[in-house]
Amino acid sequence: MRTRVAIIGSGPAGLLVGSILTRAGIDNVIIERRSRDYVLGRIRAGVLEDATVQLLLSLGAGTRMMREGLPHHGFAIQFNGEALRINIDALTNGRSVMVYGQTEVTRDLMDLRADSGAETVFEAENVTLHDFDRGRPYVTWQKDGFARRIECDFVAGCDGYHGVSRASVPAAAIRTFERAYPFGWLGVLADVPPCDPELIYAAHSRGFALCSMRSARRSRYYIQCAADEDVNHWSDQQFWDELRRRLDAKAAANVVMGPSIEKSVAPLRSFVAEPLRFGKLFLAGDAAHIVPPTGAKGLNLAARDAQQLANAIVEFYLQRSTRGIDTYSQSALERIWKVERFSWAMTTMLHRFEHFSPFEQRMQEAEFRQLQTSEAARRVLAESYVGVE
């Protein structure tokens, strides 16, 4: 087999690279380790920046999002019971975010791809990248007991944090930067109306809590927990009780409880790999970086990477220019580090850190006071939340 671009991974990053290339008439194949159903069963975050919304619309993958997604014009921060609304709309000249689950984005992009006829290989075992740093790359894997091979011009490594792409790069050629936070998030999805029409990020002495949603009838809640928390130790009732303890009285009273339809623990991590290009291999999305979920940036960052990488490849084929692929790594990293800073700052302000000294706790409070009293500070936060270029 031969294609122009072999894309490793069928998450949002790989699917977006694929649809931008397909739309430009550039042949590509996605090679995914899991089954389609497995990929669509993963529950992930759910806030889209306006640039992500625009990208999905421009690709023709935005119809259901426009029908079912919830535009949000503000969100709340609670700090030990004191509430502050961040009016995104007023602070960013009318911009907004869209609440629409990553699972739905993935489904819409998969449907678009299926309609386009572009090929995706699911359940590919032992995916291995070859010769991407010298000349003619190819990718091998096994499927149904048969060995497969595809030759390509470029490899897009969109296979997430645990994928094979970054791991294929010689250690001496890559540098990584990492912070593992000493806690995780315990998340619950339940078919109950949200406790508030807007998202609530709550800092509390018992730990952080987040009230989010997927629709007017489906809520997504998280509470800060131990990094190695066993999800089986939490009954639904214990979760609801702990969530309500961390919210102010009004939000707590409005929490509608119900049986969880998903419950899971996610670790929090900041991570960046540099550079993002190794000859003919490019990293994008979670393969290149991880942000803690506090600012809902993971999917949006992946979308920006995918857009930038795919446009660079389109430029290479249609305009015979290497400018985009030559500058991808550096310019994407500049953007990525800004978002890393934002996600780290939100995480640090709002979580309970066991090892924090009284001084550091006062610093957290001072960060909140700064937001309370300074419109400029709120504007910086709101701009980062809707997305900076």
Q: Does 46 bind ligand APR (CB under 6 A)?
A: no
Q: Does 299 bind ligand APR (CB under 6 A)?
A: yes
Supply the minimum distance, in Å, between the C-beta of residue 296 and ligand PHB: 3
The one among 212, 219, 307, 384 contacting ligand PHB by CB under 6 A: 212
Q: From the candidates 12, 137, 292, 293, give the one annotated as an active-site residue.
A: 293
Nearer Cβ to ligand PHB, position 45 or 55?
45
Cross-strand bridge partners of residue 220: 189, 212
Nearer Cβ to ligand APR, position 33 or 113?
33
Supply the angle between the helices 50-59 and 298-319 in degrees, to the nearest 10: 50
Residue 78: strand, helix, or coil: strand
Supply the minimum distance, in Å, between the C-beta of residue 128 and ligand APR: 9
Q: Is residue 38 flagged as an active site residue?
A: no
The one among 285, 295, 324, 387 contacting ligand APR by CB under 6 A: 285
The one among 13, 26, 29, 47 contacting ligand PHB by CB under 6 A: 47
Q: What is the Cα–Cα distance from 107 to 42, expressed in whole angstroms?
A: 11
Report the chain's terminal Cα–Cα distance, integer Å.
38
Supply the minimum distance, in Å, between the C-beta of residue 228 and ligand APR: 20
Total residues binding ligand APR (CB under 6 A): 28
Q: Does 295 bind ligand PHB (CB under 6 A)?
A: yes
* Residues 49 and 389 sit within 8 Å (Cβ to Cβ): no
Residue type, 315: E
Chain positions 112 to 141 lying near ligand APR, rule: CB under 6 A, are 124, 127
* Residues 183 and 177 sit within 8 Å (Cβ to Cβ): no
Q: From the candidates 201, 221, 222, 328, give the one annotated as an active-site residue.
A: 201
Q: Does 152 bind ligand APR (CB under 6 A)?
A: no
Question: Which residues in 218-257 are b (16+ Cβ under 10 Å) and which e?
Answer: bbbbbbbbeeebeeeebeeeebbebbbebbbeebbeebee
**For the purposes of burial, counting CB atoms within 10 Å of the CB of 211, is it exposed (0-12), middle (13-18) or buried (19 or more)?**
buried
| Binding partner of residue 46 among ligand APR, ligand PHB, none, CB cut-off 5 to 8 Å per kind | ligand PHB
Q: Is residue 297 flagged as an active site residue?
A: yes
Tokens of 104: 């739905």
The one among 5, 7, 13, 29 contacting ligand APR by CB under 6 A: 13
Tokens of 332: 């994407």
The one among 5, 18, 33, 154 contacting ligand APR by CB under 6 A: 33
* Residues 190 and 258 sit within 8 Å (Cβ to Cβ): yes
Catalytic (active-site) positions = 72, 201, 293, 297, 385
In the complex, which residues of this chain contact ligand APR (CB under 6 A)?
8-14, 31-34, 39, 44-45, 102, 124, 127, 158-160, 162-164, 285-286, 298-299, 302
